[in-house]
Amino acid sequence: MTDVPARERFEARDETGAVAGVVTYQLTGAIIAYTHTEVDPAYEGRGVGSTLARAVMDDAR
């Protein structure tokens, strides 16, 4: 899981570097709003969405 602040999103990538899923966010001061989660259809059912959700919540803490 990688935070890409320039794109305001976290990215999950596979072993080849392809983007498997993203969570976008908006940061305003100390407030972060997660605005969208998307998993590439090729990765559905593999836990990518759950992994993204856990990672962003851990990061927010």
Q: Where are the domains of the chain?
A: 2-60
10 vs 61, more confident: 10
Q: How is domain 2-60 classified at the architecture level of CATH?
A: 3-Layer(aba) Sandwich (3.40)
Average pLDDT over residues 15-35: 94
18 CB burial (10 A radius; 0-12, 13-18, 19+): exposed
pLDDT number for residue 6: 95
pTM equals 0.85
